[in-house]
Amino acid sequence: MKLKTRITELLDIDLPIVQGGMMWVGRAELAAAVSNAGGLGIITALTQPTPEALREEIARCRSLTNKPFGVNLTILPSVKPPPYAEYRQAIIDSGVKIVETAGHNPQEHVAHFKQHGIIVVHKCTAVRHALSSERMGVDAISIDGFECAGHPGEDDIPGLVLIPAAADKVKVPMLASGGFGDGRGLVAALALGADGINMGTRFCATVEAPIHQNVKQMMVDNDERATNLIFRSLRNTGRVGKNSVSDKVVEILKQPGAKFEDVAHLVKGADGRVALETGNVDAGLVWAGQVQGLIRDVPTVAELMGRIAREATEIIQRRLPSIAA
């Protein structure tokens, strides 16, 4: 099955469904499964401990699929930043054709990728950021609504408003991100002016996602209320799954004068990895979005994407025409 949009044409894929870059989750087996099912799978560069390890992971993905796939490079402020330029060079040297960038000040990276003919999709949380990225020369935008896992920005604009607001101004193809997990969401995104959807949390609850079954089952059991917004007072809002760790972070940061240092021991990325890999869902932060309320099962990636495509086609071909008749 194929659904044709500007995104499918740009990325040379059959379905306008992209797997977002996710720390510790965006590995070759998941990316390849998404690409093999007709979407665009994405490896998360910084999940790999070194640029050389990233080269090996890209090669491993290439051994699992002959379809297009991409690599995510997220640029975040840090006391001791990773060697971004070396990771960037590993992506270029490996012949990757599509990159998803995210985070702060991507200009240097976007320019270098574009010099090598790489398609760049930049993830944004505001219309003004999307327009800035478009001027920077990116090929497509992924606009991230307030419902998303990860960092939704500080404007608190949900997708129902953010997507059409961006579509009114952005000229390049655009993915809608945050809260998507089924065919209804895909059709809604298209109706709002997007050219496809970017899914993260929903792909975590699939057979191929390289995380523990307990975490997948947690997402099935959770509803749309089962997230916490952390770091609000620090102006670095993040949406994570609700567990004892994120509850504690929220409580501590409610206190007057609370600083990041007061919760640093609770939010270490290494602890989040332990939670994902061991299934101890209270070992650290588990990043998850409100779309948990729409997750009912743990299918294979192919089953999930086939279902989304069928649902979307059914709505487009049968339900909507009958309403407009």
Task: Sheet containing 41-44: give its strands across.
Answer: 17-19, 196-199, 174-177, 140-144, 119-124, 98-103, 69-75, 41-44
Helix (H/G/I), strand (E/B), else coil: 36? helix
pTM, rounded to two decimals:
0.96
Chain segment 151-210, per-residue pLDDT in tens = 999 999 999 999 999 999 999 999 999 999 999 999 999 999 999 999 999 999 999 999
The domain segmentation of the chain, as residue ranges, is 6-211+297-324, 227-287
Q: How many CA atoms lie within 13 A of 91 on its CB side?
A: 33
| Tokens standing for residue 97 | 């054709």
Q: What are phi and psi of 267, to 5 degrees?
A: -115, 20
Report d(CA 275, CA 70) in Å as an integer: 26
In this structure, which amino acid lies at residue 234? L
Alpha-carbon torsion, ordered 205, 158, 18, 291, to 10 deg? 10
Q: Which CATH number fits domain 6-211+297-324: 3.50.50.60, 3.30.2090.10, 3.40.120.10, 3.20.20.70?
A: 3.20.20.70
- pLDDT tens track of the chain, all 325 residues? 899 999 999 999 999 999 999 999 999 999 999 999 999 999 999 999 999 999 999 999 999 999 999 999 999 877 789 999 999 999 999 999 999 999 988 999 999 999 999 999 999 999 999 999 999 999 999 999 999 999 999 999 999 999 999 999 999 999 999 999 999 999 999 999 999 999 999 999 999 999 999 999 999 999 999 999 999 999 999 999 999 999 999 999 999 999 999 999 999 999 999 999 999 999 999 999 999 999 999 999 999 999 999 999 999 999 999 898 6
| Torsion angle in degrees (nearest 10) through CA of 153, 157, 159, 165 | -110
